[in-house]
Structure 1
Amino acid sequence: MAAAIGALTFLPAVQAQSQDAANADAPRSGGQLAPITVQGEADTPYKAEKSASPKFTAPLVDTPKSVTVIPQEVIENTASTTLTEALRLTPGITFGAGEGGNPLGDRPFIRGYDAQASTFVDGMRDIGATTREIFNIEQVEVTKGPDGAYGGRGGAGGSINLITKAPIAENFTNATLGLGTDNYKRATVDGNWLLGDNMAFRLNAMAHDADVPGRKAVDNSRWGIAPSFTWGLNTPTRITLSYYHLQTDDTPDSGIPFMYGNRVPAGVTAIRPVTVDMDNFYGLANSDFLKNRSDVATARIEHDISSNLTFRNTLRYTASDQRYIWTQPDDSQGNVNDGLVWRRANTRTSGVHTIANQTEIFGKANLGGYEHSFTAGIELSREKADNGTYTITSTLGSRSTNSCGLGAGAPSGYTCTDLYNPNPYDPWTGSIIEGERANHFKTTTKSIYAFDTIKLSERWMTNLGLRVDDYKTRYFNATTDVGRNDTLVNYQLGLIYKPASNGSIYVSYGTSSTPANAFLGQGSESGSLTPGRGGVGPNAAELGPEKNRSLELGTKWNLLDNQLAVNAAVFRIDTTNARVTMPDNTYAMAGNRRINGFEVGFSGNITKAWQVFGGYTFLDSEMRNTGATTDVTKGQEFPNTPKHSASLWSTYSVTSDFSLGGGVFIVGKQYGSNGAVRRYIPGYTRFDAMAAYRINRNVSLQLNLLNLTDKRYFTSTYSTHYAAVGAGRAAILSVNLKY
């Protein structure tokens, strides 16, 4: 892989240099790995004017909804390499944990609601359980609040849309090599080559290998490649073919157990993780693994019918695969009280295959005496998933033998280990057999949608959106076959007042629907088709979608000569028919949840040399009703929903060649569950820093110091068992080449 990257970096660079000698000093755009923003390359690289999705029919300043665009420059400056790392730049997003499904991949929560199934790539749903990379990402767009009109089925919190890199009409080759502490090694290349007047080829590739700072035995290894080809650049008709492949091979992190299992002292209502060395690893390094594979093939054709009207059709096939054996520190029998940890093996083997087609027409027109900016589309998709587990014959034990009565180490067959001095390399022998993927999920969706921004006058605009989905889903195995067919109707209404050309005040109302099987068995289903543990919810397939609605009042402004974007909003999100478990162990659509919140954000330049990106989110969440006779959860906060979160990243160009930067990330206390006894993780504040120096127009250096104070903190928590641990202090030095 390294040799391939080296060749791709050198040879096309020489070719591009000779072709562009006359324009050698012209600025390059569209490439990855530009760690230092040099004055003249881009006026406001931290500030986005528009969404890349045609469903957003107005500039962001005139869009009546909270939308955060994380641009490529911010991702690069912060040395983010995964989607999770990039999303920490946006307050109001936290990350969930679990014990099955997808506890180890991307599981973001937006405004308190699980958004794993609301992740999109170039506007098309990406349901697979995986950990996403950013080497082929141009920008990340986060839409907050119920947005069923934009994406169809989903939660109330919002959605994430990843915009990938595509061929453009210029030659460049950008490459980087990063080395750092904890055996950090990373190489990427981003090359774009014109093959004629109207054809271009682009290639992104990546190889990454590193340990996790501050964690014993945990490591990440992955590689990816993403070629794309476009015919018809700068012509009315454009055809783009692209392919994406990512493969990971990690040692999953077991986290830190909580203080108590089922032996909670009287009067204790909140439990935090046990106080131990934060380096402790409670897994079995000799047997644990996490392997993901993603393949995405896309064909897109665009045709400009006129200067104000464009037709686009996108066909995509996606295949994702996840396999893991993950040893979890189970505290369900109170072993932790005795200074011991039972190591339980959680296993999974799963695959997701999706084929989807999206046809859109978008543009501008004068109709009925008003200016319209519109998009209309039809989307068809079929998603299939197959899940299974591994059979482990070894000393790992089983759920029925989860007591550590024999003590740690050999007496327990290494199933149990010492709480304060666990040995991740305890001997392990036995067999691992991958089982049949015998649980099958299938969803077919037919959708039609339309959006229109109407300019009523110089001061007033309105934004309308409607989507109707025919949603048919099914779960089946050797003994069960259940399904549902629902019609999902969601809409977006917005009214915008423009007191000045550079600002707006808006009010918006939006809805979303969360139907059964929305996660296709790839996450923590809030609406499973099948009964839960112990036969809970035998009527699961009889219940319709949860309905969510949001009211938002906000304002957006482009300030300082259009260099700085600022926004603020207050909002309320309600779910009035949430699925809950009743006292007789049946499900009912009787739950009531609410979030009141406030958010501010900013991105862009304060001066020509000073750039900022960040914001603050306040979330006041409340469980209003769960259907229980004695509802101890009434009034409690949502899981994974801190009241306060904030982020700030800033860079300053000391000279035209030298920049300094830094960031602070603040997240408040989070609970993992609701109930009489609740497990939680404390809040934290983390600091990062960056320095970049441009040696010449082709070579630059970037140094990132992550978690400067070596803060030991927790990133997410499950309702029982364990809390996930944040990475310790790290340093990364990158050499960047641009031709």
Structure 2
Amino acid sequence: MAHIESRKHPLDRHPRLNGTAALTALAISVPGAALAQTQGEAVLPNVNVSANAADTAYKADTAASSKFTAPLVDTPKSVTVITKEVLNQTNATSLQEALRTTPGITFGMGEGGNPAGDRPFIRGFDSQSNFFIDGLRDPSSQSRDMFNVEQVDVVKGPDSAYSGGGAVGGSINLTTKNARLGNFGEVTAGVGTSSYKRATADLNRQVGDNAAFRINVLGEDSNVAGRDHVDLKHFGIAPNLALGLGTPTRINLGLYHFQTDDMPDYGIPYNNPVSKYNTKTGATAPTTAPTINPNYSKNGDGGPLNVDRANFYGLKDRDFRKTEVDSGTLKIEHDLNDRFTLRNSTRYTRSSNDYVATNPGDSNLSIVTGTTLPRSAKSRHSVSDGIINATELLGEFTTGGIKHRIATGVELSRNEVDSRGYTVTGTSLADIQNPNANDPWTGTVARSTQGARTTTNTLGIYAFDTLTLSKQWLLNLGLRHDRFSTKQEGYSTDGSKPTTANLSNDSNFWSYQMGVVYKPRDNGSIYLNYATAANPSGISSGDGADSITLTNKDLEPEEVRSIELGTKWNLLNNKLALTGAIFNIEKTNAKVNIDPFTMATVGKQRINGVELGFAGAITSAWQVFGGYTYMDSKLVDTGPSVWTTRATPPYTAATSWTYNDNAANKGNQFPNTPRDSFSLWSTYKVMPKLTVGGGAYYMSKVYGDAANTKWVPSYWRFDGMATYDVDKSISVRLNVNNIFDKTYYNAAYATHMVGVAPGRQAMLTGIFKF
């Protein structure tokens, strides 16, 4: 049994800096009298708890980010922490697999202009641009692996005060495996069905009294279960050096390299590819009412096309996706005294996303009426270079009998994305029912001569403070100001006039966070929280869904605010965390098209929801992790219906105009926002050496578009796991995902296609610790 007691060192709240010993220290304790500067100060009592580390493997007591100035039980906001143990037992190798364990998150799809990669929707809002690595924003479109990750924090609800621009639904922070004192290592080797082969190595060595080196390595070569011809090859390496551990000044240097070589998979088409209204052509927007497309009546009901789940419509001789990420991080921190710590972190990241993929059908009527469909090519070749620097002051002090725990800082970043895709020639048709990925193709793939560079600079200044007003009352405050500037410049490589317009947007905005916490008991809290977020045009820097365009370049940031009432409790001797919250989120100036040439922030969107969560041990043998989320989403005001075009001026007589029936979408459900979602992962130690467990996951119907005409059905999925410990050093784990081989769809695109989830797959992993 490990004896846990409170400490006064300001960095004890940040376990990723000071090792696992601090992980639960301040989360189950509060400042004691030793921190008082004057008599009569209002302080909370020390709480000493005996707990076995295995009993709290699913439960985290603090978030990794230093901006959270209180333990999770006293943080007035919904935060889900996916611990290392949950990641390992579920065999979560990708970010999408890791996030399956927490409800309220869906994944969207990308094409070319909106790139393929991780695209989570948190509480109804696109969060593709809101990833963080060790608290620093991680830009660019990527597909992230978990080999160098030991904790995932999901902040739910608007949190621009914490994360800056774009965090309207929430954000995701990945904590990496940093070097620490002591010697340990772990090697895993896994094999399984669908040619699954994956190996990792994690080696940590102390190289002096105050220094350590750690390295993580990954190799994987696998197919995707239930999908023909879809395979992946991944390699990663991440060395990390830590100096000055256990001393007032600490330095950490980390490098990271990850590369993929996958067959891109755009799933299967919807069964209603035909638009309701006819398109029109001309140099000016039509002034007449739209006419109904005569083929519209031939559409299906909007769900996935009824074909075999394994159907792959791509071409093996043409399609590819290769990505590469390289980064270097330098972190220096110094304890000014026993109350304050100064930290500076710098990261440089260069990433590339390079692919040609088949979009099955591309809204072609033949999907409904014919036997073949065209293999439309979508492509991208983008390179992102980003550098970010953050300086923080962390500490605690007391004034007038009120204790403050603060985090203040300044963040500077610059990100440049160079995007120049491919010109793909040649045609190919696929049999709708029995596509052949080896069909002949005689076209060409060449880099486009037209491209765009998008440069984004940001400056953020923030301050957070948790004020202990009395034994029962705490006040959590956060304030941030952001200066955001983005610029897009078109270019050509053949001397021709660039087709991409030069655009820019400059925005300044404030974000707020205020929460009142009442503690009826030391181990629980009831809170009320108010938070805001801002979404400036071009937040994705040309490498995501929200890029700068001719119609949004002059708009003020979209504004979002949320009100959340919740309660959090640590029960069963601090082994089990239970949370519950009701929330209301409103975007009051959503972007909508008001005429063919103008977009305005006049729309309104609203979500009312309930979220329940649980994490930890019910008994010494029984662990649980998961929750339930209900979201009632509504497009309250969608603006007028208008004719729109994707062409850029000057328009020609051949310009194509489509009718955007905004008004008809009023009252509809948000895209990518399920009404109900549930997740449960649970394990039970049936014998000292044998642990069995499994997962149950539910997602209700999800729409892909604002018109609610394209959708994927609800589903249940069940997983299983068994681990046998041969001895203290060797164990074997069997995972079976999608036990009943359920055919379901895990992503709904706004048009064209749906993502097909993997079928049943069994994976046997050997774990060797030393």
TM-score (norm 2): 0.86
Kindly provide the amino acid, as one letter, of the partner of residue 88 in structure 2.
Answer: E
The correspondence of residues 183-582 of structure 1 with structure 2, limited to 5 A, is 183-262=195-274, 265-266=296-297, 270-337=301-368, 338-393=370-425, 395-396=426-427, 415-435=428-448, 438-478=451-491, 479=498, 480-525=501-546, 528-531=547-550, 537=551, 540-582=552-594
Kindly provide the amino acid, as one letter, of the partner of residue 154 in structure 1.
Answer: G
Q: Which moved more, 1:239-248 or 1:430-439?
A: 430-439
- Displacement of 1:258 in angstroms is 1.2
* Structure 1 Cα separation of the partners of residues 375 and 443 of structure 2: 16
Where does residue 89 of structure 1 map in the other structure?
101
CA deviation map 1:560-589 (0-9, x unaligned): 111100000000000010110114442111
CA deviation map 1:702-735 (0-9, x unaligned): 0000000000110011121110000000000000
Q: Which runs of 5+ in 1 are unaligned?
A: 1-27, 31-38, 397-414, 532-536
- Displacement of 1:100 in angstroms is 2.1
- Displacement of 1:52 in angstroms is 1.3
Distance 1:582 1:698, change over 3 A: same
| 2:229 and 2:437 in contact (8 A); partners too | yes
- Displacement of 1:127 in angstroms is 1.4
SS, match of residue 51 in structure 1: coil
Where does residue 5 of structure 2 map in the other structure?
none
- Displacement of 1:358 in angstroms is 0.3
CA deviation map 1:168-224 (0-9, x unaligned): 111001010000001100000011000011010000000011000000000011100
* Structure 2 Cα separation of the partners of residues 670 and 264 of structure 1: 25
Where does residue 15 of structure 1 map in the other structure?
none
SS, match of residue 381 in structure 1: strand
| 1:270 and 1:680 in contact (8 A); partners too | no
SS, match of residue 428 in structure 1: coil
| 1:310 and 1:361 in contact (8 A); partners too | yes
* Structure 2 Cα separation of the partners of residues 271 and 127 of structure 1: 34
Kindly provide the amino acid, as one letter, of the partner of residue 536 in structure 2.
Answer: P
Distance 1:312 1:437, change over 3 A: farther
| 1:386 and 1:437 in contact (8 A); partners too | no
- Displacement of 1:431 in angstroms is 2.9
Where does residue 118 of structure 1 map in the other structure?
130
- Displacement of 1:41 in angstroms is 5.1
* Structure 2 Cα separation of the partners of residues 254 and 374 of structure 1: 46
* Structure 2 Cα separation of the partners of residues 119 and 109 of structure 1: 12
CA deviation map 1:230-262 (0-9, x unaligned): 110111110010001000000011311111322
Kindly provide the amino acid, as one letter, of the partner of residue 509 in structure 1.
Answer: Y
Q: Which among 678, 683, 688 is matched to residue 714 of structure 2?
A: 683
SS, match of residue 306 in structure 1: coil
Where does residue 613 of structure 2 map in the other structure?
601
* Structure 1 Cα separation of the partners of residues 534 and 296 of structure 2: 41
* Structure 1 Cα separation of the partners of residues 192 and 110 of structure 2: 31
SS, match of residue 336 in structure 1: helix
Where does residue 647 of structure 1 map in the other structure?
679
- Displacement of 1:428 in angstroms is 2.2
Q: Which among 632, 646, 650 is matched to residue 664 of structure 2?
A: 632
* Structure 1 Cα separation of the partners of residues 242 and 295 of structure 2: 62
Where does residue 165 of structure 2 map in the other structure?
153
The correspondence of residues 609-624 of structure 1 with structure 2, limited to 5 A, is 609-624=621-636
Distance 1:110 1:634, change over 3 A: same
Q: Which moved more, 1:551-560 or 1:475-484?
A: 475-484
Distance 1:432 1:267, change over 3 A: closer
SS, match of residue 631 in structure 1: helix
CA deviation map 1:424-455 (0-9, x unaligned): 11122343222357201111111110000000
* Structure 1 Cα separation of the partners of residues 505 and 192 of structure 2: 51
SS, match of residue 421 in structure 1: coil
| 1:283 and 1:343 in contact (8 A); partners too | yes
Where does residue 8 of structure 2 map in the other structure?
none
| 2:115 and 2:380 in contact (8 A); partners too | no
Kindly provide the amino acid, as one letter, of the partner of residue 426 in structure 1.
Answer: D
Runs of at least 4 residues off by over 4 Å: 267-270
- Corresponding pairs, count: 675
* Structure 2 Cα separation of the partners of residues 547 and 440 of structure 1: 27
Kindly provide the amino acid, as one letter, of the partner of residue 376 in structure 2.
Answer: R
Distance 1:92 1:265, change over 3 A: same
- Displacement of 1:103 in angstroms is 4.4
SS, match of residue 161 in structure 2: helix
Where does residue 702 of structure 2 map in the other structure?
670
- Displacement of 1:286 in angstroms is 1.6
Distance 1:68 1:368, change over 3 A: same
| 1:387 and 1:437 in contact (8 A); partners too | no
Where does residue 33 of structure 1 map in the other structure?
none
- Displacement of 1:155 in angstroms is 3.5
* Structure 1 Cα separation of the partners of residues 450 and 596 of structure 2: 32
Kindly provide the amino acid, as one letter, of the partner of residue 442 in structure 1.
Answer: T
* Structure 1 Cα separation of the partners of residues 298 and 317 of structure 2: 40
- Displacement of 1:694 in angstroms is 0.5
| 2:158 and 2:167 in contact (8 A); partners too | yes
* Structure 2 Cα separation of the partners of residues 216 and 316 of structure 1: 39
Where does residue 699 of structure 1 map in the other structure?
730
SS, match of residue 96 in structure 2: helix
* Structure 2 Cα separation of the partners of residues 223 and 171 of structure 1: 25
Distance 1:363 1:336, change over 3 A: same
Kindly provide the amino acid, as one letter, of the partner of residue 535 in structure 2.
Answer: T
| 2:115 and 2:141 in contact (8 A); partners too | no
SS, match of residue 74 in structure 1: helix
RMSD of Structure 2 on Structure 1 (CA): 1.6
Where does residue 59 of structure 1 map in the other structure?
71
Q: Which runs of 5+ in 2 are unaligned?
A: 1-18, 22-50, 275-293, 492-497, 642-661
| 1:688 and 1:704 in contact (8 A); partners too | yes
- Displacement of 1:120 in angstroms is 0.7
